[in-house]
Amino acid sequence: MKVLMFGWEFPPHITGGLGTACFGLTKGLAKHGVEVVFVVPKSFGDESQEGFRLINASDIELDFTQTLTQEFREKISYMEVGSNLVPYVGPEEFERWYTEEILAKKTDIHSVYNRKYAFSGKYGANLMEEVSRYALVALSIADKFEYDVIHAHDWLTYAAGIAAKQISGKPLVVHVHATEFDRSGENVNQVVYDIERSGMEAADRVITVSNLTRQIVIERYGIPAEKVFTVHNAVEPVDKPETDEVTKHVREKIVTFLGRVTYQKGPDYFVEAAHKVLQRDPNVRFVMAGSGDLLNRMIRRVAQLKMGTRFHFTGFLAGAEVDRMFAMSDVYVMPSVSEPFGISPLEAMRTNVPVVISKQSGVAEVLQHALKVDFWDIDALADAIYGILHYDGLRKMFARYGKSEVDSLIWENSALKVLEVYNNATGHKN
C-alpha cells in the first residue's frame, strides 16, 4: 500500500499537535508496511518557525530526529512545498500572523491563538491564496508519484487532496482532526466550512479523531455515516517522565488547568468549580496555565469570588515549564466544551497525574481511568476534584492504572485502523 499524504510539519519542525499526530500516524503506518509520500507546505524562515515551535512546545514529547530509524526513513518520502501555510489556524489568525509575524517581524507568541484579539474583520485573503497555491502544487506532485490512496489532514489540505484525486483518480481519505465548529463554536466561518464540507464530500472515506467529531461530521456537514470512520489518536510512549527532581514549594495540593483560555476549553467552569472546592477546603491551590481571549475575564471572575490568594495564573507555559507544571499537579482538569480529541490529559496521566475530563472530549471515549463529567456540570466537576484530593483510593487507582492505560494507546494500533480504511477505500474504488 502506498499513500500520498498531505500533512503538516515533519520532524524536526514540529509545531503543534497535528504535526505530532501526523508523524505518529506515519510511523505507525510504516510499521504495517505502508509506504508514505509525505507532502508538507514549507514554512517560512527559521525565525517564524521558532516562534511557532515555542507556542506549542508543550506538545513536543520526543526528540524526533533520534526516533527516526533507518527503516522508517526508507518507508517515507518527504517533500516540502514552498508555501506559507501553517496548521491549526483560521483565516483571521493567519491574516494576523502573516502581518504581525512576517511583515512586522514582531514576535508576540501569546497572541497567535487569541483569535478575537486581533480580529481583522476580513477573510484572510492570503490564507485562501496559500490554500489554492498548495493545491496547485499538489497537482504536479500527484502526477509524479505512484500511490494507491490519497490522505489529507484537516481542511487546509483538502483542496490539495481533491486536486490530487482529480488528476490521479485514486481514492481520497480526509482526516478530520478538528472542525470549524470546534474552533469557532457556532460562529463558523462560512468559507472554511465550505472548504471542509467540499473536502469531506469529495472524499471516499472520512476519518475522524473521535466519535464526537464523527457525529459532527455526519450531522453538521451532512456526510453519509457509512463513509465516516473513527480512528482515535494515540500518543508516543515516553520511557521516563523527567519530573523526579521537581519540587513543590507549597504545601497545598495543586489543581491545574492547562490550555488556551478560550471559550471551547471551558476555563470558566474550572473557575466556578474551584470556588466550590475552596469554600469547603481552603487548602487547595488552583492554577490556570495558558493564555487566550477569556483570560482577563477569568482574572476578573477570580477576583470577584475573592479567591485570588488560592487561584493563580501563570500565563503561557511552554516546554519544560509544562512538564514542571504537570509534575507539581495533583489533579489535571480539562473541562472542554468541545474537544475533538484532546491529548493533554494523556500527557498528564503519563506523569501519574489523575485527570478530570469533560464528557464532551474525544479522549473521554478511550479513557477509562479518568473522571468524566459534563463540562457544564460544575457541581460534578467540583465533586470530582474534591474526591481526588480527599479520597486516597482514587489517587492509588490512577497511579496504578492511568499510566499503563495511556501507554497502551499506541499509534501502531491506530495506524492499523487507518490501514483498514485505506483497504476499504481502495477496495471500494477498484
Q: Which stretch binds other proteins (CB under 8 A): 4-12, 118-126, 259-267, 366-374?
A: 366-374
The answer to whether residue 305 forms part of the interface with other proteins (CB under 8 A) is no
The answer to whether residue 386 forms part of the interface with other proteins (CB under 8 A) is yes
Toward other proteins, which CB reaches closer, 376 or 391?
A: 391
Among 13, 175, 310, 372, binds other proteins (CB under 8 A): 372
**In this structure, what C-alpha cell is assigned to residue 46?**
527559521
In the complex, the smallest distance separating the C-beta of residue 373 from other proteins, rounded to whole angstroms, is: 9
Q: What is the CA radius of gyration of the chain?
A: 21
The answer to whether residue 209 forms part of the interface with other proteins (CB under 8 A) is no
C-beta separation of 257 from 387 below 8 A: no
The answer to whether residue 279 forms part of the interface with other proteins (CB under 8 A) is yes
**In this structure, what C-alpha cell is assigned to residue 64?**
524526533
Among 401, 408, 413, 423, binds other proteins (CB under 8 A): 401
Toward other proteins, which CB reaches closer, 26 or 336?
A: 336
HSE-up of 112 (CA within 13 Å, CB side)? Answer: 25
Residues 6+ positions from 271 with CB-CB distance below 8 Å: 288, 298, 301, 302, 305, 311
Q: Which stretch binds other proteins (CB under 8 A): 119-127, 238-246, 337-345, 363-371?
A: 363-371
In the complex, the smallest distance separating the C-beta of residue 387 from other proteins, rounded to whole angstroms, is: 4
Q: Tally Cβ neighbours within 10 Å of residue 369.
A: 18
Among 2, 31, 297, 390, binds other proteins (CB under 8 A): 390
The answer to whether residue 393 forms part of the interface with other proteins (CB under 8 A) is yes
Q: Give exposure, 130-146, as e/b (b: 16+ Cβ within 10 Å).
A: bbebbbebbeebbeeee
**In this structure, what C-alpha cell is assigned to residue 10?**
515533519
The answer to whether residue 303 forms part of the interface with other proteins (CB under 8 A) is no
- Looking up cell 494576523 gives 96
Give me the helix-helix angle, 392-407 and 378-390, nearest 10°: 100
In the complex, the smallest distance separating the C-beta of residue 367 from other proteins, rounded to whole angstroms, is: 10
The answer to whether residue 382 forms part of the interface with other proteins (CB under 8 A) is yes
**In this structure, what C-alpha cell is assigned to residue 119?**
480580529
C-beta separation of 208 from 176 below 8 A: yes
Nearest residue to 288 (alpha-carbon basis) of 264, 252, 256, 327? 256
Q: Give exposure, 227-257, as e/b (b: 16+ Cβ within 10 Å).
A: bbbbbbbbbbeeeebeeeeeeeeeeebbbbb
Rounded to whole angstroms, how far apart are CA atoms 355 and 367?
A: 10
The answer to whether residue 387 forms part of the interface with other proteins (CB under 8 A) is yes
Toward other proteins, which CB reaches closer, 183 or 372?
A: 372
In the complex, the smallest distance separating the C-beta of residue 377 from other proteins, rounded to whole angstroms, is: 10
Toward other proteins, which CB reaches closer, 279 or 296?
A: 279
In the complex, the smallest distance separating the C-beta of residue 396 from other proteins, rounded to whole angstroms, is: 4
In the complex, the smallest distance separating the C-beta of residue 162 from other proteins, rounded to whole angstroms, is: 41
Among 276, 312, 324, 429, binds other proteins (CB under 8 A): 276
Q: Tally Cβ neighbours within 10 Å of residue 71.
A: 10
In the complex, the smallest distance separating the C-beta of residue 277 from other proteins, rounded to whole angstroms, is: 8
In the complex, the smallest distance separating the C-beta of residue 279 from other proteins, rounded to whole angstroms, is: 7
C-beta separation of 263 from 237 below 8 A: no
Q: Provide, for the chain, the percentages of residues in helix, strand and coil under a 3-state DSSP scheme, each rounded to the nearest 5.
A: 50, 15, 35
The answer to whether residue 324 forms part of the interface with other proteins (CB under 8 A) is no
Q: Total binding residues for other proteins by CB under 8 A?
A: 26
The answer to whether residue 384 forms part of the interface with other proteins (CB under 8 A) is yes
* Binding site residues, other proteins, CB under 8 A: 276-277, 279-280, 283, 368-372, 379-380, 382-384, 386-387, 390-394, 396-397, 400-401
